[in-house]
Amino acid sequence: MTTVYLIRHSVRMKNNLIESYNTHQDKTIQNEKVILSVLGERRAEILANEEELQNIDVVYTSSSVRTLETAKYLIEKQNLKVNIDERLNERVAGIPNENEVVDWKKQYEDPTYKTTNGESQLDVRKRFEESFNEIIKNNKDKRIAIFSHGYAITFFLLKYCKLLPFKDDKLNYEYNGKILFNKTINAPEVFKMIIDGDNVIDIELIEFADLPFEFGV
C-alpha cells in the first residue's frame, strides 16, 4: 500500500501588510513568492510534529515559496530532501484581477470555466494528476507528503469525489457515499489517500486538535 498526504500550505502573509510593490513581475510570479505569516510558520512547525505525519519517505512541493516554507520543518525533522514540481502549483487565476470579483464557485461547478489567461479546473487537474501519477509510480509502497495549494488539491480530489451543493459558501465533497469535506479549507489542511497498486481505495480528511481553523489564502 502507498500512503499519500496532500497538504495545503500554512497561513500566508496577508497582502494588506505590503504597502507598495515596485516590480515588473506578473501576478503569477508575485503569487508564487508570497511567504508564510509569523502564525503560518508556527503552524507549519506544529504540523511537522503531528504523529500522523512521521516516518515520511519522500516529500514533494509546488514551486511556491509558501509550500516550501511549510514543508521545511518536516523535512528537517525527518532528515529528508524535497522534490519541487511546478505541476503542483496553485491555479493561475488570470483576469479579472485581485480587485474584481471572480466566481470561484463556478470553477468547481463547471470544470471548463476559466478567466482570461487563467486555468480551468480541468487544466489544473490535468497537470496535477500527471505529477501525482509519476510520484506514485516512482514511490510504490512508500509514505509520501505532497505540499500544494487549496484550489489545486481540491480540484484534483474531484477526480475521486462528488461535489455536493454549496452550504454557506463552503465546499461540500462526498467520497464513497460519505461526506469527506464540508467546510472552508484550513491552512494547513491534510488529506490522506491510500493507494493499492494504481487504485485509490480510501481518502480521508485528517484534522488535528492543535491546529484549529485559521483562515489563510
Domain interval for residue 193 = 2-206
What mean pLDDT is predicted for residues 156-182?
93
Supply the pLDDT for residue 210. Answer: 94
CA distance 120 to 122: 5
The answer, yes or no, to whether residue 30 has pLDDT greater than 80, is no
Supply the pLDDT for residue 40. Answer: 94
CA distance 122 to 179: 23
Any domain includes 9: yes
Number of domains in the chain: 1
170 touches 184 (CB < 8 A): yes
Which of 73 and 197 is assigned the larger pLDDT? 73
Any domain includes 216: no
First to last CA, the chain: 33
The answer, yes or no, to whether residue 108 has pLDDT greater than 60, is yes
Any domain includes 214: no
Supply the pLDDT for residue 116. Answer: 82
The answer, yes or no, to whether residue 20 has pLDDT greater than 70, is no
Any domain includes 76: yes
Supply the pLDDT for residue 97. Answer: 47
Any domain includes 87: yes
- Least confident range of 54-58, 88-92, 135-139, 166-170: 166-170
pLDDT in tens, 52-107: 999 999 999 999 999 999 999 999 999 999 999 999 999 988 776 455 555 788 89
Residue 127 pLDDT level (bands cut at 50, 70, 90): very high
Strand partners, 7: 147, 190
Residue 178 pLDDT level (bands cut at 50, 70, 90): very high
Supply the pLDDT for residue 21. Answer: 56
Most confident segment among 93-97, 166-170, 188-192, 209-213: 188-192
Any domain includes 211: no
CA 85 to chain CA mean position, Å: 13
Tell me if residue 107 falls in helix, strand or coil. Answer: helix
Any domain includes 215: no
Any domain includes 64: yes
Please give the mean pLDDT across all residues of the chain. 89
Output the domain CATH number for residue 75.
3.40.50.1240
